[in-house]
Amino acid sequence: MNANVQSLKAFLGQAGRVALVEVAATKGSTPREAGAFMLVSASAIFGTIGGGQLEYMAIDKARQLISPSEGEMAAKRPEGVGGGSARPKIMSSAAAATPPGGSAATLPARGRDTSATLDVPLGPEIGQCCGGRVEVLIRPVDATLEQELIAKAEAEEAHLPHVYVFGGGHVGQALAAALALLPIHVVVVETRADALEGMPETVETRLTAMPESVVRDAPAGSAFAILTHDHALDFLIVAEALKRDDAAYVGMIGSKTKKATFKNWFLKLAEGSEAQFGQLVTPIGGNAVKDKRPPVIAALAAAEIMTALASHSARASASNTPEKAMAG
């Protein structure tokens, strides 16, 4: 299970009263897109709608929405204990940061005392200079909405792009750790059991004597990062990946000499083509940064892989437009 789904379930299971803060609409330049959301409890938050004063305002409004009513608090008080100052006063940061006349408007609630909407221009009045405008919907999370959030997160997880890391050595371990933080499904493939020890718990591991077979079974649009302890094994895996015409990324760790050796073998003995070889990225992470420490290579490679996945997804979406479908 992806870390995001695990964390979401844990938060919802322990937070008590929770409000959903969701970006309902945007205009111009904004920190997050429509659909971005966060969850707010009395003492914690899950996710983000972009940070800054916008987020502080939304958090305060959400906590006002889920704070106990006077009736609920009175019901919990022992007999003889009065009300009045017993209820904490909530000071909204919107009131503190917004000058008279207001730059952030609270629109009519959608349902009496059950939801609220903030319409916030992102200008100097609130200390943000994005220049756009954000409408934020805030509503309490009930059992039905909780299940909807979990189902949505699980559906998104099922469609995450796959990234296969072949090799669990120093760079493989560092790359797995870097990728584990990202919205992707990471699989580390090894021929050595001990090399799979210590992997992040959200990373899938596969022990196999034939790692190249994993390439054949990978879903379309996958990324393959090859960095095993054996150059000959690297070559077999890379050749298998390059012969797929639906891979988002094929990268191999190595030097110019290793690349030249692989090219000679791939074209002459592995029945590969120049076009297929042209899809190979090596060294992974590029060579603009000369630092070869594993965490540095991992950071550069992770950025490279995410860029390739985004580009592949954009191309796939463009090819599936109605115009393309009609032309086909």
Q: Give how far Cα 117 sits from Cα of 50, 60, 111, 138, Å.
A: 17, 13, 11, 6
pLDDT at 5: 86
Q: CA-CA-CA-CA torsion for 226, 230, 234, 235, nearest 10 degrees?
A: 160
pLDDT at 322: 58
| pLDDT tens-digit series, residues 202-231 | 899 999 999 999 999 999 999 999 999 999
Q: Which residues of the chain have a pLDDT value below 50?
A: 1, 80-112, 325-328
Tell me: do 190 and 149 sit in the same domain: no
Tell me: do 101 and 171 sit in the same domain: no
Tell me: do 305 and 178 sit in the same domain: yes
Tell me: do 167 and 237 sit in the same domain: yes
pLDDT at 1: 47
| HSE (side-chain half, CA atoms, 13 Å) at 289 | 13
Q: Is the dihedral of CA 13, 17, 22, 24 positive or negative?
A: positive
Tell me: do 119 and 235 sit in the same domain: no
pLDDT at 257: 95
Tell me: do 145 and 167 sit in the same domain: no
pLDDT at 294: 96
* Domain encompassing residue 55: 3-155
- Asked, for residue 326, whether it belongs to a domain, the answer is no
Helices (H) and strands (E) in the chain, counts: 12, 12
Tell me: do 179 and 242 sit in the same domain: yes
Where is the domain boundary, 155, 174, 203?
155
Residues near 151 by beta carbon (within 8 Å), at least 6 away in sequence: none
Tell me: do 136 and 186 sit in the same domain: no
| pTM for this predicted structure | 0.76
pLDDT at 73: 52
How are beta strands 162-166 and 185-190 bridged, if at all? parallel
Q: Give how far Cα 208 sits from Cα of 51, 124, 184, 215, 234, Å.
A: 44, 57, 22, 12, 14
- From 296, 288, 283, 278, select the one nearest 253 (Cα to Cα): 283
